[in-house]
Amino acid sequence: MSILVTGAAGFIGANLAKRLLTEFDEVQVVGVDNLSDYYDTRLKEERLKELSQYGERFVFVKGNIADKPLIEQLFDEYKFKTAVNLAAQAGVRYSITNPDAYIESNIIGFYNILEACRHHGVEHLVYASSSSVYGSNKKVPYSTDDKVDNPVSLYAATKKSNELMAHAYSKLYNIPSTGLRFFTVYGPCGRPDMAYFGFTNKLLKGEKIQIFNYGNCKRDFTYVDDIVEGIVRVMQHAPEKQVGEDGLPIPPYKVYNIGNNSPENLLDFVQILQEELISAGVLPADYDFEAHKELVPMQPGDVPVTYADTSALEADFGFKPHTSLREGLRKFAEWYKEFYG
Ligand SMILES: NC(=O)c1ccc[n+]([C@@H]2O[C@H](COP(=O)([O-])OP(=O)(O)OC[C@H]3O[C@@H](n4cnc5c(N)ncnc54)[C@H](O)[C@@H]3O)[C@@H](O)[C@H]2O)c1
């Protein structure tokens, strides 16, 4: 059985591919990634190196999901029943200055995946959405029942658009689809554009870290293994195909939050990160953190709090993320020490 994972050299994609190849002997993973240089590509090469241990069970295709003939050819060749779309231009701040990348990967690329699912009888499309669709929603925790029509970044707008496009395809062509709104994912070999990784790089160089909104931000930090566990459970249960009273299909369409359901204050997060960086030997025990911290105002596109309501995920899949920030940041710090020395 071949499963498509787009964004397979990415942080979440590589972790998902590894988990699928480790746990399911009969599975072959076809991973597509254009190895974009949005961040240091050595991390992507490192992730692919780890996946190469699975031999022919992991097929890597360097390519762009915005390349329609390529996507068409892959679906034709491998007859995927399940496709997981994680390829995207990620990042909220980058979308303010580089909108083209978001339209190409997140809109055109996603459209190509939908079209391929439509023409090749895919039984379940799982795709990454994001907590950023909640914009500056005041009500917490964020529920998938909340109205999310006010994105505060183009990134968020593309992710919400993915959910709308998937809904239309589920309704029109009866394609089962599940969108997953991930909340601030972190872990070993993660993304250097994210706070925990960027802070670590800066502290190591003796630079100051900027803590936005004067530290009054709360994030539902979610450890990557919890995200992968959620995806793996969801992948195996496509929304049911049903027919409505009008004789037309009721769209087999679902959206879930995957977040820790326990937001942490940014200053507490920085404190734990500091302690774990010292324990792992990344920074010396006498590091002067106070001299390297700067409290600054909120940034455009940012939101003060993210907090996932995971009750639907728990009800349908009996699972909610549970890794503590300390445990997760410890694994990150240990990995960082080993990778960068
Ligand atoms: N990490 C998070 O905190 C987080 C939170 C919410 C949503 N998400 C979403 O989860 C998914 C995975 O995120 P990630 O953190 O692993 O990011 P990532 O940047 O590490 O992975 C995405 C991968 O997609 C590839 N890619 C980008 N555009 C492509 C294209 N047009 N064709 C083929 N490959 C392309 C990139 O090279 C990258 O390796 C993304 O859709 C992201 O928007 C991530």
DSSP for 166-227 reads HHHHHHHH---EEEEEE--EE-TT--TTSHHHHHHHHHHHTPPEEEGGGG--EE--EEHHHH
pLDDT value for 301: 74
Q: Which of 4, 15, 30, 33, when mutated, tests ligand 1's pocket best, judged by the most ligand atoms within 8 Å of its CB? A: 33
Residue 195: inside a domain, yes or no? no
Please check whether residue 316 lies inside any domain of the structure: yes
Q: What is the spatial distance between Cα 186 and Cα 328, in angstroms, rounded to a whole number?
A: 8
| Structural domain containing residue 123 | 2-185+223-260+307-322
Looking at ligand 1, which residue's alpha carbon is closest to its atom 34? Answer: 33
Q: How many angstroms is it from 106 CA to the middle of ligand 1?
A: 9
Whose CA is closest to 159, among 225, 68, 95? 95
CATH number at residue 30: 3.40.50.720
Question: How many domains are there within the chain?
Answer: 1
Asked if residues 189 and 339 have their Cβ atoms less than 8 Å apart, the reply is: yes
Domain membership of residue 197 (yes or no) is no
Structural domain includes residue 61: yes
In a domain? residue 93: yes
- Residue 214 annotated as catalytic: no
Pick the catalytic residue: 102, 155, 169, 336?
155
Measure the CA–CA gap between 173 and 316, rounded to whole angstroms: 24
Between the CA of 230 and the centroid of ligand 1 the distance, in Å, is: 17
On whether residue 205 sits in a domain, the answer given is: no
**What is the full DSSP assignment across 238-274?**
PPPPEE-TTSSEEP-EEEEEES-SS-EEHHHHHHHHH
- Determine, yes or no, domain membership for 74: yes
Note if the bond before 141 is cis, omega within 30 degrees: yes
Q: Is residue 141 part of a domain?
A: yes
- In angstroms, the CA 187 to CA 86 distance is 17
Q: Give me the average pLDDT of each 10-residue run along the chain (341 residues).
A: 98 99 98 98 98 98 98 98 98 94 98 98 98 91 96 96 98 97 98 97 96 92 98 98 92 98 94 97 96 92 89 98 97 98 88
- Per-residue pLDDT at 303: 81
Q: Which residues line ligand 1 (CB under 6 A)?
A: 6-7, 9-13, 32-36, 44, 64-66, 86-90, 105, 109, 128, 130, 182, 184-185, 191
